[in-house]
Amino acid sequence: MLVLNGPNLNLLGEREPEIYGSDTLADVEALCRAACEAAGLTLDFRQSNSEGTLVDWVQEGRRGIAGLVINAAGYTHTSVALRDAMSAVTVPSVEVHISDIHAREEFRHFSYLTDVTDHQVIGHGVGGYVEAIQWVATQQHG
């Protein structure tokens, strides 16, 4: 299972905790690791503030793995390049957002990823990552 995290998610627990909560990215990784172990999957968990690095990682993980979970953060609303990379993904893919992007500022309502991912988990806090991993596992194991 490849779980990708976009810009500023390395600041979880510090940045706007009233929106994103107090869990750190290390806490999210631990949750994802436990969810993957429960599903019999191994975890590759990454974070980058760089759009190009995220595109490279999506291209690396587009096939031959159980699934790809992505929280593109701010790039959700701006990156055609990331959208195009996600359109080549052939494994189950899930777009995750900790906060409800549809209940926030107008510019956050649109996602370039929604039409090129298989499933979305939006506004369920960091537990949304676990939901995403569980969804991918159901796609693999019926």
Catalytic residues: 20, 97
Phi, then psi, of 5 in degrees rounded to 5: -125, 135
Is residue 19 marked as binding? no
- What's the maximum distance between 2 C-alpha atoms anywhere in the chain? 39
Closest CA to 136 of 2, 5, 21: 2
Is residue 71 marked as binding? yes
Cβ pair 88, 114 in contact under 8 A: no
Closest CA to 32 of 139, 122, 136, 127: 127
Is residue 93 marked as binding? no
Is residue 84 marked as binding? yes
Is residue 23 marked as binding? no
Which residues have a Cβ under 8 Å from the Cβ of 21 and sit 6 or more positions away?
Answer: 12, 13, 98, 125, 126
Is residue 98 marked as binding? yes
Binding-site annotation, residues for substrate: 71, 77, 84, 98-99, 108
Binding-site annotation, residues: 71, 77, 84, 98-99, 108
